[in-house]
Amino acid sequence: MEICRFIVPVILKICRREAYMISKNIDVNKRYLEGLCQDCADVNIREYDLKGFGRCVVVYLETTVDTFKIGDVKEIETMEDAVRILMAGNAVLFCQGNDKAYKISSQGYPNMGVQESQMEKVLRGSQEGFADSVKTNVALVRKRIRTPDLKVAEHQMGQESNTAVSLVYMEGRIPPGLLENITNRIKELHVDGVMDSGMVEHLAVEEWYSPFPRFQTTQRPDRAAMELLKGRILFLSDNSPVGLLLPTTFHNFMEASEDAYNPKEIVTFVKALRYVALVVAMLLGGLYLAVTNFHTQLLPTNLLLSFAEARQGVPFPSLVEVLLMELSFELIREAGIRMPGPLGGTIGIVGGLIIGQAAVTANLVSPMVVVMVALTALGAFAIPNDEFASTFRLLKYVFIFLGAFLGIFGIVLGVFGVLEHLSGLVSFKIPFLMPFVSKEYKNVCR
């Protein structure tokens, strides 16, 4: 039985590549397509009785077929060509007693006019982003993976909202039992309404006490398509332009969409830089307080004298000084996000410069603290995923208090605590620190 589980899919794959001629019996063609497109909820197979043609079957993808252009009709001789044309976004017509099918051109896949991703900006790659329609989002993914192996499972969530959600995955590439695990989790959720994929994210998480996200968000169809080919599952919700990729590991959050398009040497350097930025965002504030309050012998004499001179006239302790500037920058960041259009960036830059300079001039903080807080903010912005970066913005305050009261010992204690916590997290039975803590399911985190 175990051997059959691996041999049968291989045989089917081999047979699928062979040119299967279109039969005059429309039922044979229909059964072939139904078997090939099984579990593809976005593939419609409709049978009609047309005058002059008899029984006919039309096969098409939702959202790609709207208005048929009767003038552009092309004969198709093999089922392989029929499936290829179908996955390109066209309709295919089969007629009883005819050993040829007909391609009927349609509007095709949604193009860039859908919308642009605002959350994941890239310098290279597609500029398309997900829309609010789950059907459109599925079509945007299938536009990039044109194979019947891309499966779509549709569900309804919300007792009152009846929101349509879809699970998109590649058949034969996902880890065993993952789809069943996610499907059961969805069925166990009983809520009045689901208005966004983020609601499902918070309800379905196992370790609610952990600040680390276990669902990776994306607004980019190209990113979603790349992750599906790696063996992950995409969760899409109606009325939401954000998809959820799962299972998720620590390393996934440190990757950007354009990493796949750039030379590996550059990507390796940039990824290393992101990990350095992560450490800076989490530890720099705490290390500053630990060194200046407890371990001044670690600093060169000239630097120590410079720190002491910069703090002359500052009426607050170092802890209050750092917290004051950190909270000020957090307020500036939040205000910049809420401001409409280009004003947000202006508020962030101008506000930071004005407040920082005014605070130094008024002797409320030292210039070194302003530099340290600015580096911490830059480190957080360098992390590709905003939700993941927010976790380290929160942990930053934990390390600030540890460094202020316990020095380097507190910092080391906090680092070991974070590592111990991460080593125990799982995302749908996949270790969060994979492959560092597990050698299984390597395709999930490639």
Angle between helices 386-423 and 367-381 (to 10 degrees): 90
Whether residue 236 is found in the same domain as residue 270: no
Whether residue 172 is found in the same domain as residue 39: no
Average pLDDT over residues 380-399: 91
- Per-residue pLDDT at 232 exceeds 80: yes
Average pLDDT over residues 360-385: 87
Least confident span in 167-176, 326-335, 338-347? 338-347
Whether residue 213 is found in the same domain as residue 292: no
Higher pLDDT, 445 or 305: 305
Whether residue 66 is found in the same domain as residue 166: no
Whether residue 71 is found in the same domain as residue 148: no
- Domain final residue, candidates 246, 269, 299: 246
Query: Highest mean pLDDT: which of 16-25, 228-237, 304-313, 325-334?
Result: 228-237
Nearest by Cα to 215 from 198, 238, 227, 229: 198
Average pLDDT over residues 413-421: 94
Average pLDDT over residues 424-439: 80
- Per-residue pLDDT at 3 exceeds 50: no
User: Does residue 416 belong to any structural domain of this protein?
Assistant: yes
Q: Which two tokens stand for residue 21?
A: 């001629």
Counting residues of the chain whose pLDDT is more than 90, the rounded percentage is 23
Q: Which residues contact 173 (CB under 8 A, 6 or more apart)?
A: 228, 229, 230, 231, 443
- Per-residue pLDDT at 331 exceeds 60: yes
Q: Which domain holds residue 92?
A: 17-104
Q: Which residues contact 111 (CB under 8 A, 6 or more apart)?
A: 128
Whether residue 154 is found in the same domain as residue 240: yes
User: Does residue 180 belong to any structural domain of this protein?
Assistant: yes
User: 374: buried, middle or exposed (CB in 10 Å: 19+, 13-18, 0-12)?
Assistant: middle
Q: What pLDDT sits at residue 397?
A: 95
Classify 272 as helix, strand or coil: helix
Whether residue 190 is found in the same domain as residue 51: no
Looking at every residue in the chain, the average pLDDT score rounds to 82
Whether residue 238 is found in the same domain as residue 381: no
User: Does residue 114 belong to any structural domain of this protein?
Assistant: no
User: Does residue 110 belong to any structural domain of this protein?
Assistant: no
pLDDT tier at 124, thresholds 50, 70, 90: confident
Whether residue 202 is found in the same domain as residue 300: no
Asked if 56 and 93 count as a contact pair (C-beta separation under 8 A), the reply is yes
Cα-Cα-Cα-Cα dihedral of 429, 433, 437, 439, to 10°?
Answer: 70
* Ramachandran area for residue 33 (φ above 0: left; ψ -120 to 50: alpha; else beta): alpha
Q: What pLDDT sits at residue 392?
A: 93
Q: CA dist 273 to 145, 321, 372, 385, 402, Å?
A: 32, 28, 18, 15, 25
pLDDT tier at 349, thresholds 50, 70, 90: low
Least confident span in 73-77, 133-137, 154-158, 318-322? 73-77
Structural domains of the chain, count? 3
Whether residue 236 is found in the same domain as residue 173: yes
Whether residue 31 is found in the same domain as residue 176: no
Higher pLDDT, 227 or 340: 227
Asked if 117 and 128 count as a contact pair (C-beta separation under 8 A), the reply is yes
User: Does residue 128 belong to any structural domain of this protein?
Assistant: no
- Domain final residue, candidates 213, 246, 279: 246
Classify 129 as helix, strand or coil: coil
Counting residues of the chain whose pLDDT is more than 70, the rounded percentage is 85
Written as one string, the DSSP assignment of 65-94 is -SS--TT-EEEE-BHHHHHHHHHTT-EEEE
Q: Which residues contact 441 (CB under 8 A, 6 or more apart)?
A: 175, 231, 430, 434
Average pLDDT over residues 379-392: 90
Q: What pLDDT sits at residue 225?
A: 93
User: Does residue 181 belong to any structural domain of this protein?
Assistant: yes
Q: What pLDDT sits at residue 198?
A: 81
Average pLDDT over residues 242-260: 89
Q: What pLDDT sits at residue 342?
A: 61
d(CA 417, CA 436): 17
Whether residue 313 is found in the same domain as residue 198: no
| pTM of the full structure | 0.78
User: Does residue 37 belong to any structural domain of this protein?
Assistant: yes
User: 18: buried, middle or exposed (CB in 10 Å: 19+, 13-18, 0-12)?
Assistant: exposed
Classify 317 as helix, strand or coil: coil
Q: What pLDDT sits at residue 55?
A: 86
- Domain final residue, candidates 104, 119, 146: 104
User: Does residue 209 belong to any structural domain of this protein?
Assistant: yes
